Structure 1
Amino acid sequence: MGRDLLWCFFVVLAVLSPKPTSAGRLELRNEISGVSSVRKAKLAVRCWSNEDDLGWDMLKPKESRIWKFTTMNLWPFQKTEFRCQFRCGFGTTDEDVVTVFSVKDGFRKECGVGGDECFWVAKKDGFYLRKIVKGFDDDGRKNFVDVLESKWVWKW
C-alpha cells in the first residue's frame, strides 16, 4: 500500500511539475521620426528578467532589438517576466520601469493573438504596445494596432 501511494505521489508530481510552455519573443522598435536631430530620436533601453540583465542598449531610428526566451506558465510557477527602462530625447515613460513581457495575470493576452510575442514601439508622441490582431494584410504580414501606453514625460 505504501509503495502504491509513493508511486501516485511521483505521478502527480510529474504531472504538476513546471514545464516551459513555448518560446517567448520580445521586440522593441524605435519608430521615432520627424525629428531634426538623430541624437534626439535615439532610444536608450535597459531590460532585465529575474535571471538575466540585458544591459543598456541604444536604438537608432528604424532599429529594433529582439530577444527570444523560454516561458514558464504553469501555476504556481508562472515566472517569466521582463522589465525595461526607456529614455529618449523626449523624456522617459511615466512609469520608470515598464513590464514589457509577463506570463502573470494573462499579460501575454494583452500582446495580441498568439500571446507569445510582445512588440513595443517608441514613437515621437509616446511608447506603444503593438497588439497583433487576427488576419493578415495584402502583403501577408500580421495585422496590428498600436495602443499608447505612455506619453514621454520629463522627470527631474
Structure 2
Amino acid sequence: MGRDLFWCFFVVAVALLPKPTIAGRLELKNEITGVPRVRKAKLAVRCWSNEDDLGWDMLKPKESRIWTFTTMNMWPFQKTEFRCQFRSGFGTTNDDVMTVFSVKDGFRKECGVGGNECFWVAKKDGFYLRRITKDEDGRKKFVDILKSKWVWKW
C-alpha cells in the first residue's frame, strides 16, 4: 500500500512540474507609408513584461524591432506576457495597452503556426497582427488581421 501511494504521489508530482521553457519571438514593424511627413509616420512603442521594461523606442517607416526571450509556461502560472503601448501620427490603439505576446495557448494560436512568434504591424489605417499560416506546399504565408484602428484620445 505504501509503495503504491509513493508511485501515485510521484506521478502527480511529475505531471505538475514546469513545462520546458521555449524561445519566444516578438517583432514589431512600422509599415506606415504614403504619408507626406516622416514625423507623422513614426511609431512610438513602449513594451514590458512581468520581468522586463523595454522602455520607449521610436520606429521610423520600414523599421522593426525584434525581441527574443525565454517563456515561462509553468502550470498554473503561465506568466510570460508582453504588453505594449503605441503612438503614431494617427493616434493610439483603441486599447491603450495591448497584449502582444502571451504564453496562454489561445493567444499563441492566434499568432499562427508554431505560436512562438508574434508579428505586429503598424499601418496607416491601424495596428495588425500578422498571422503565420502555411500554404499547400508547406511554405510560410502571412495574413494581416486588423486588431485596432488608430483613435484620438484627449
* TM-score, scaled to structure 2: 0.89
Moved more, 8-17 or 27-36: 8-17
Structure 2 residue 54 is the aligned partner of structure 1 residue 54:
yes
- 8 A Cα contact 1:136 1:143, kept in partner: no
Aligned residues of 2:131 and 2:143 also touching (Cα < 8 A)? yes
Q: Indicate the SS of the match to 1:44.
A: strand
In structure 1, the partner of 2:83 is 83
Query: Cα deviation per residue 1:108-130 (whole Å; 9 max; x = unaligned)?
Result: 00001111000000000100000
Q: Corresponding residue for 1:45?
A: 45
**In the comparison of the two structures, how many residue pairs are matched?**
154
Question: Which residue is 1:123 aligned to?
Answer: 123
Deviation by residue 1:13-40 (Cα, 9 ceiling, x = unmatched): 3442213331010000000000011111
TM-score (norm 1): 0.88
Structure 1 runs not aligned, ≥5 long: none
Q: Following the alignment from structure 2 to structure 1, what is the Cα–Cα distance between the partners of residues 114 and 73?
A: 14
Q: Could you say if the C-alpha distance between residues 136 and 126 of structure 1 is closer, same or farther in structure 2, counting changes exceeding 3 Å?
A: farther
Secondary structure of the residue aligned to 1:132 is: strand
The answer for unaligned runs of 5 or more in structure 2 is none
Judge conservation of contact 2:19–2:75 (CA < 8 Å) in 1: no
What is the CA distance between 1:6 and its match in structure 2?
A: 6.0
Alignment partner, residue 13 of structure 1: 13
Which 4+ residue blocks in structure 1 deviate beyond 6 angstroms?
Answer: 1-4
